[in-house]
Amino acid sequence: MFRLHCTKKLLDRIKPEICAPGPSDTALGSWYATVLFWKPQIALLVSERTLLPVLMPLAPAATLARRFPAQLALVLREHGVSSEFIAQEVCRMDTVKYAKTANRSVVGILNEFVKQAEFWLAAYAYEKGDDDDLLAVSAKLAETPCSPLYKGPVSPDRALHELVEAGAQA
């Protein structure tokens, strides 16, 4: 089970049943999500624990949470994460609970990633239906130094690798 903390814009699109914030069962923790009203519309999801960004098509919005684990698996594979870790993470994401955003720091990172994604999508000349571009942009965003991570790994990709390595040693 994982929690998906959505911005008001996204909650208005999905109209899910909202529950109280709480912990997720996944190694990457809860996820924060927003919608980018571009053509086509994009969802940006960020891990609360590592700040790992994942971009994916929003449509159809009602199935976003069901489609997300598959997109996350692609992003994790792009970062060279072991297939065992990916399988465990995806398996734990069988159920989703929606919540409102609760961590202002992660919301700030979401907003910063939106600005950077605009640049990278233009640089990659994103075209409708080209999910490879979204994967490449997700990987580029993960290299961004993030202030909440300054005391440790500094960027989401490094935080991800630290988390995976710590899990492998446990």
39/127 Cα distance (integer angstroms) = 9
User: pLDDT tens for residues 32-72?
Assistant: 999 998 888 999 999 999 999 999 999 999 999 999 999 99
Contact 89/72 with Cβ under 8 angstroms? Answer: yes
Q: In the prediction, which pLDDT does 46 show?
A: 97
Q: In the prediction, which pLDDT does 170 show?
A: 47
What is the rounded average pLDDT of the residues 11-20?
91
User: pLDDT tens for residues 143-155?
Assistant: 999 887 777 788 9
Q: Within the chain, how many helices (H) and strands (E) appear?
A: 6, 5
Q: Taking each helix axis from N to C terminus, what angle separates 156-169 and 83-92, rounded to the nearest 10 degrees?
A: 90
Q: In the prediction, which pLDDT does 130 show?
A: 55
CA angle 26, 46, 99 (to 5 degrees): 70
What's the pTM?
0.91
Q: Mean pLDDT of all residues in the chain? A: 89
User: pLDDT tens for residues 108-148?
Assistant: 999 999 999 888 877 766 554 455 688 888 999 999 998 87
